[in-house]
A = this chain, B = another copy of it.
Amino acid sequence: MNIAVIGLGYWGPNLVRNFLGNPNVTSVTICDKNTERLEAAARKFPGIKTETDVDKIYADPTITAVAIATPVYTHYNLARKALESGKHVIMEKPFTRTVQEAEDLITIAEHFGLTLMVDHTFLFTGAVQKMKEIIDEGKIGDVMYFDSVRANLGLFQPDVNVIWDLAPHDISILNYLVQARPIAVSATGMKHYYGMENIAYMTVFYDEHIIAHFHVNWLSPVKIRTICVGGSDKMIYYDDMQTSEKVRVYDKGVNLNSKEGEYDLRVQYRAGDMWAPQTSNKEALAEVAAHFIHCIKTGEKPICDGYAGRDVTAILEAAERSIKNSGQKVALPSSVSGLPAPERISSFIIEKV
Contact residues of A with B, CB < 8 Å?
46-47, 144-145, 147, 153-154, 156, 158-159, 184, 186, 188-195, 199, 201, 203, 205, 209-211, 213, 215, 217-223, 228, 230, 235-237, 241, 243-245, 248, 250-254, 256, 260-265, 267, 269, 271-278, 322, 325-329
Contacts of A159 in B (CB 8 A): 263
Q: How far is the CA of A52 from the CA of B308 in the complex (A)?
A: 52
Rounded to whole Å, the gap between the CB of A273 and the closest CB of chain B is 5
Q: How far is the CA of A248 from the CA of B245 in the complex (A)?
A: 11
Besides the known contacts A145-B219, A153-B271, A156-B265, 17 further A-B residue pairs in the complex with CB atoms under 8 A apart = A145-B192, A147-B215, A153-B253, A156-B254, A158-B265, A189-B211, A215-B215, A219-B235, A221-B236, A221-B250, A221-B252, A223-B243, A245-B274, A272-B278, A274-B275, A274-B276, A328-B328
- Whether the Cβ atoms of B190 and A209 lie closer than 8 Å is yes
**Which residue of the partner chain, among B154, B209, B276, contacts A254 with CB atoms under 8 Å?**
B154
Name 18 A/B residue pairs within 8 A (Cβ), A-sorted: A46-B46, A147-B215, A153-B252, A154-B254, A184-B326, A186-B186, A186-B188, A193-B267, A218-B254, A219-B230, A220-B230, A221-B252, A222-B228, A222-B237, A251-B278, A271-B278, A273-B275, A275-B276
- Whether the Cβ atoms of A194 and B228 lie closer than 8 Å is no
Contacts of A325 in B (CB 8 A): 329
Contacts of A322 in B (CB 8 A): 327
**Which residue of the partner chain, among B203, B235, B253, B275, contacts A327 with CB atoms under 8 Å?**
B203
- Whether the Cβ atoms of B273 and A278 lie closer than 8 Å is yes
- Whether the Cβ atoms of B273 and A326 lie closer than 8 Å is no
- Whether the Cβ atoms of A261 and B326 lie closer than 8 Å is no
- Whether the Cβ atoms of B205 and A326 lie closer than 8 Å is yes
Contacts of A253 in B (CB 8 A): 153, 219
- Whether the Cβ atoms of A192 and B267 lie closer than 8 Å is no
Contacts of A203 in B (CB 8 A): 188, 201, 327
- Whether the Cβ atoms of A193 and B230 lie closer than 8 Å is no
Q: How far is the CA of A205 from the CA of B248 in the complex (A)?
A: 35
Nearest chain B residue, comparing its CB with the CB of A250: B221
Q: How far is the CA of A26 from the CA of B169 in the complex (A)?
A: 42
- Whether the Cβ atoms of B237 and A211 lie closer than 8 Å is no
Given A250-B222, A278-B272, decide whether A186 and B261 contact each other with a Cβ distance below 8 A: no
Contacts of A147 in B (CB 8 A): 199, 215, 217
Rounded to whole Å, the gap between the CB of A138 and the closest CB of chain B is 18
Rounded to whole Å, the gap between the CB of A152 and the closest CB of chain B is 10
